[in-house]
Amino acid sequence: MPNRKPTIKDVARHCGVGIGTVSRAINGKPGVREEIRRKIFQYMEEMGWRSTSLGNRFRLSTRGQTVVIIASTCALERKYYSELPRMLLERLTVRGYSPVVLYGRCRENLAHCLEVKPAAIVVLGVKSYQSDAVRNLLEKGIPVVGIGECGEFSGPVVFPSHRTAARQACERLLAAGHRKIGFFGGMGIVKKAVRREEIYIERIRGMLDGIHDALPGIDLEDSAVSDCFSDLSGLRRKLESGNHTAWIASDEKQCLQFLHCASGLGLRVPDDVSLVGFSPDLPFYAYPVDITRFYPDNNTHVEQVLEIIGAPASPTPRTFTADYLFHPGATVKEESTHEHDESV
């Protein structure tokens, strides 16, 4: 059946039963022999057939307990998260669970989960507004674990240790002889950061905290600049001044923007200015040059999620972090320490 989705009529015809039998099977009603029900479900899974009813979709799971993965569309746009649904699906299946992925409409899908009571729920891209719904689910004994960061979340959350990695990035640049280190980050509408409290993105705040740990005297107004939704004028002015010999970029997008801006000014990376980036787990050839970078340990995050939902007791609000992994790359130049011996 190329170029069209299979229908309930196709399922009935293939399985040699009537439409009414298929309907009773997917709605969990009596009157269908077990071998027929399994044959129907197996064919539906093979052909990618999906019921529009959330409850019916859960009844299609025949291999084990259902785990619902709820992913916000904005979270999937970030490459940090793009591999996690696939990895979770594979690991959950190996562990004997039957995973179901629901995209978008997070509030509505969390409410539906309260009715159908899956074995566990994973929320990809957590938001504070989900906290009440998550609390209700936990009170009903349904394990919920979030991936990401937000100001308030009622259950356990898993995310990379941004602060630790940013501190390590600074320490590597300091060890290479750099003393004036700048930060280029996606800070939303903030054009430049004067105080940490002005930044509302948890990941960026964690990175700034880590940079401060390694460089306690850093002046954010002088050394931190935002892309402000791809407005590179602030970064361009900083690079033109030549005050910083090295930079830390907060994401893949900022890494690419930095390379573009430096190239436009005739600056060579790393000969004229060094760069350490944060990025998703990407191959070295994903960039024009081999970026020295930190990337999240998705394998550890998936194992943390599995451990939480497999625990005998209901999970409680708690933070689970994992260190970033490091790719040495080729964008950090060793500086002569006597040339840049002033502290920030």
Going residue by residue through the chain (344 aa), what tens digit of pLDDT does each one get? 455 666 888 888 888 999 888 887 776 677 888 778 778 877 776 665 555 555 565 555 544 588 999 887 666 656 666 678 888 888 998 888 888 888 778 888 898 888 888 899 999 988 888 989 999 999 999 999 999 888 788 899 999 999 999 999 999 999 999 999 999 998 877 777 667 777 888 889 999 999 999 999 889 889 999 988 888 999 999 999 999 999 999 999 999 999 999 999 999 999 999 999 999 888 888 899 999 999 999 999 999 999 999 888 878 888 999 999 999 999 999 976 444 444 33
Paired tokens of 37: 């029900």
CA–CA distances in Å: residue 236 to residues 23, 96, 261: 63, 53, 6
Paired tokens of 204: 């960026």
**Which CATH class, in words, describes the domain spanning 1-47?**
mainly alpha
Where along the chain do its domains lie? 1-47, 50-155, 162-296+326-339
**Neighbouring C-alpha atoms within 13 Å toward the C-beta of 69:** 25
Domain at 162-296+326-339, CATH from 3.40.50.2300, 3.40.50.300, 3.40.1030.10, 3.30.530.20: 3.40.50.2300
The answer to whether domain 1-47 and domain 162-296+326-339 are alike in fold is no
Domain at 50-155, CATH from 3.40.50.2300, 3.30.360.10, 3.10.129.10, 3.10.180.10: 3.40.50.2300
For tokens 């000014």, name the residue: 265
How many angstroms separate the CA atoms of 252 and 281, rounded? 10
pTM of the model: 0.77
Could you tell me which residues are beta bridge partners of residue 295?
A: 325
Provide the 3-class DSSP secondary structure of residue 83.
Answer: coil
